[in-house]
Amino acid sequence: MNNELYSFALKTALTEIQNTYPGMKNSFIFAEDGEIIARNETTPEKTTICTVDSFDSILERAEVLGGIDNVTIECSKGRVNITNLNNFYFVTVASKDADKICINTITRVLIPTIFKTIEKISPTPLKNKSTTPNLEISTSEDIEQPVGELSAEKSETFTPTPFKPEPPVNQLIVENVGGLFASANTVRIGKEILAKWQDLVDNGEIEKVEIEAFNGKSVHCKVKLIKDAKQEGRGHIQVPQKIQSVLGIAKGELVKVKPILQMAEGQQNAQNEEE
């Protein structure tokens, strides 16, 4: 039974019940998200929309106490009853003179029973309206070839190549490296830039960078954090004199710097196996 037939069956049930019990003026069923599932023929659509909108605030407050099972609102002109039907809600509006026992039987026994019965015979739940069809495509080759003779080529499992993000490029101003123990093949960069680069790799580390001068020369070298906190955020890169000579640059010049991304061990092994 599809959703349209489901709604039609519920609508028919509501209409027939009203014909049997004239004291029930209006009745409809709506989903938790506010969608109207079914209503009897005498219930205007505008009435259902207004009722659902008003019910939202009641439902929000009731969630703190574990939700709503049954709500009855009595007034001078009649009575409104709202019954929970497994995340759907059944609303009835009865006249003042309506037999309370009959209305209670309808709201708490008859409709819930009909609802559960329709749900059981329907292979697709009402609330799952959008389903993706499973398409089975067969070719003559698939039909003629016995299952036991499938080629090894068709049974291979595809292993995707690990994604390697494109490293960002930063333009930094060259500064000399000071200190007695400064390494001749290690540059130093600010904490902020290194932290942004580190977010690009999972379980890996930024250990090397590529420095490219505007004359076209480039080198790969190790990288560490600038030790002097006063230099943080200035957009500088501390470069040893040896590397400056190789690149043909000097203090105060601009260079392009990007990290050499190292993949985590598991990703590296997967790539090696793929190669």
30 and 103, same structural domain? yes
177 and 254, same structural domain? yes
Q: What are phi and psi of 273, to 5 degrees?
A: -65, -35
Question: Which residues span the domain enclosing 106?
Answer: 3-121
How many structural domains are present in the chain? 2
What average pLDDT is seen over the chain? 75
In this structure, is residue 42 part of a structural domain?
yes
- Given 82, 102, 121, the domain boundary residue is 121
pLDDT for residue 129:
43
pLDDT for residue 10:
84
pLDDT for residue 257:
94
189 and 95, same structural domain? no
pLDDT, tens only, 68-120: 777 888 888 888 888 888 778 888 888 888 888 888 888 888 888 887 777 67
- Given 55, 88, 121, the domain boundary residue is 121
117 and 60, same structural domain? yes
| Number of neighbours of residue 219 by Cβ within 10 angstroms | 16
pLDDT, tens only, 192-222: 888 888 887 766 678 899 999 999 999 999 9
| Number of neighbours of residue 108 by Cβ within 10 angstroms | 15
CATH code for position 30: 3.30.450.30
186 and 96, same structural domain? no
112 and 9, same structural domain? yes
197 and 117, same structural domain? no
> In Å, what is the CA distance from 85 to each residue of 67, 103, 171, 237, 273?
12, 16, 63, 67, 55
The listed range with the strongest mean pLDDT (94-108, 126-140, 221-235) is 94-108
17 and 112, same structural domain? yes
Bridge partners of residue 210, in order along the sequence = 220, 258
In this structure, is residue 160 part of a structural domain?
no
pLDDT for residue 220:
94
pLDDT for residue 210:
95
- Given 121, 137, 155, the domain boundary residue is 121
In this structure, is residue 142 part of a structural domain?
no
Structure tokens at 170: 């930063």
In this structure, is residue 190 part of a structural domain?
yes
pLDDT, tens only, 72-84: 888 888 888 888 8
Closest CA to 51 of 107, 89, 102: 89
pLDDT, tens only, 154-182: 445 555 555 556 778 899 999 988 665 56
CB 192 within 8 A of CB 232: yes
117 and 8, same structural domain? yes
115 and 197, same structural domain? no
pLDDT band (50, 70, 90) for residue 147: very low
In this structure, is residue 157 part of a structural domain?
no
Where is pLDDT greater, at 228 or 76? 76
CATH code for position 230: 2.40.40.20
In this structure, is residue 46 part of a structural domain?
yes
Report pTM: 0.42
pLDDT, tens only, 10-33: 888 888 888 888 788 888 888 877
Give the CA-trace dihedral at 220, 263, 169, 189, to 10 degrees: -60
Structure tokens at 227: 């030790």
| Number of neighbours of residue 61 by Cβ within 10 angstroms | 10
In this structure, is residue 138 part of a structural domain?
no
Position 6 pLDDT exceeds 70: yes
174 and 111, same structural domain? no
pLDDT band (50, 70, 90) for residue 233: low
In this structure, is residue 233 part of a structural domain?
yes
